[in-house]
Amino acid sequence: MLTRITTALLATVALVGALLTLGPPARAAVPDTIPLKITNNSGRGEALYVYNLGTLLTTGQQGWADAGGTFHAWPAGGNPPTPAPDASIPGPAAGQSTTIRIPRFSGRIYFSYGQRLVFKLTTGGLVQPAVQNPSDPNRNILFNWSEYTLDGSGLWLNSTQVDMFSAPYAVGVQRADGSTVSTGHLEAGGYNAVLADLRARSGGWANLIQTRSDGTVLRALSPLYGVETGALAANVMDDYVNRVWQKYTTTTLTVTPYADQPGTRYYGRVAGGVMNFTDASGTVVTRFQKPDAASVFGCHRLLDAPNDAVRGPISRTLCAGFNRSTLLVNPSQPDTTAAHFYQDAVTNHYARAVHAHMADGKAYAFAFDDVGQQESLVHDGSPRQAYLTLDPLS
């Protein structure tokens, strides 16, 4: 249950981070539902199933939306969990498109090839798939999901690799002026290139890849789940973290967490094994214990980021710096120059590989990958239509 809760929190944190990065959207009238065009360019012959699951923003109820955009609340769950109603929507065949409507909602659009996903309900709500668990009923299904929020301020829609790298897809939005923007496409051959990169990397990164008994590669787990399951060594980031901690015993780390507030700065120094951050007056505003790999990859635990004005923004910046390995080469953070990222031998090689093979370089490969606007996100304050395009596994 803990890993399932972590999955949901990471998805929420990633999307909230995107909202903070982009700032207030343009105010515009947004209809109760908008069309989502789903195009199946995967080349796969299996049946495709689509799900729109999440939270109704007006009431806070969890549930699902049908193809017409009508919301249905989940029934009460149980302990042990009980099967959820079948919320699947028939998806388009290979080479075809289908348009559904999505309501004012915050949640996920799942899609699966060949089999319906298994969802269950507990007394606390929906149990999301957690394929890092060997007994999860969805472990041997090829699937993925996108995350979105549609509210009175517009649409935020992103592709995500925070939990896993799997069946590729891109997202897009048609703006009020008729123009269209998209992100999330891999470069030609990018899917296999990411997997090959992980297989070639020493240190256990190949262990993140999960394959079905018929030989189908299903996904590469995020390094957070790799550490949690033992697929990746728990000390995989120790050398880098130790070097960072040593550097900032004699050097000051300056964090400017808000791009639009360059005068808001915090200053970090390590003393007694703890990194203390002070404000301009010299007052300690927060402190961090030396993080382990799980804290770095998950941007949580020892790098927890509450939704506040001080610790959260500092932690987001640290998390991005550790994952991108920019903290040793630049004492002023965040470093938003992509050419500086992932240059140390000890880094988040999963995030490095995913970004390297994206057509536009954008991805959500860890929870705060939106620091410096590196995330694969589209947004419009008055969207006319959204797009989900499923790409080949090649």
Whether residue 375 lies in the annotated active site: no
Whether residue 151 lies in the annotated active site: no
Residue 281's Cα: distance from chain center in Å?
A: 36
Q: Whose CA is closest to 363, among 348, 351, 349, 379?
A: 351
What distance in Å separates the CA atoms of residue 74 and residue 53, rounded to the nearest whole number? 10
User: Is 215 exposed, middle or buried (CB count within 10 Å of its CB: 0-12, 13-18, 19+)?
Assistant: exposed
CA-based Rg of the chain, rounded to a whole angstrom? 21
Distances in whole angstroms, Cα of residue 219 to Cα of each of 101, 228, 393: 28, 16, 11
What distance in Å separates the CA atoms of residue 110 and residue 97, rounded to the nearest whole number? 16
DSSP secondary-structure letter at 42?
S
Catalytic residue among 32, 46, 136, 163: 163
DSSP secondary-structure letter at 302?
G
Q: What is the residue whose two structure tokens read 């970090």?
A: 268
Catalytic residue among 136, 147, 214, 292: 147
Q: What is the residue whose two structure tokens read 């410096």?
A: 372
The residue count of the chain comes to 394
Q: Is 48 within 8 Å of 84 (Cβ atoms)?
A: no
Pairing of the two strands 385-390 and 33-40: parallel
Q: Per-residue b/e over 88-118, b at no fewer than 16 CB within 10 Å? A: bbebbeeeeebebbbbbbbbbbbbbbeeebe
Residue 314 in 3-state DSSP?
helix
Catalytic residue numbers read: 147, 163
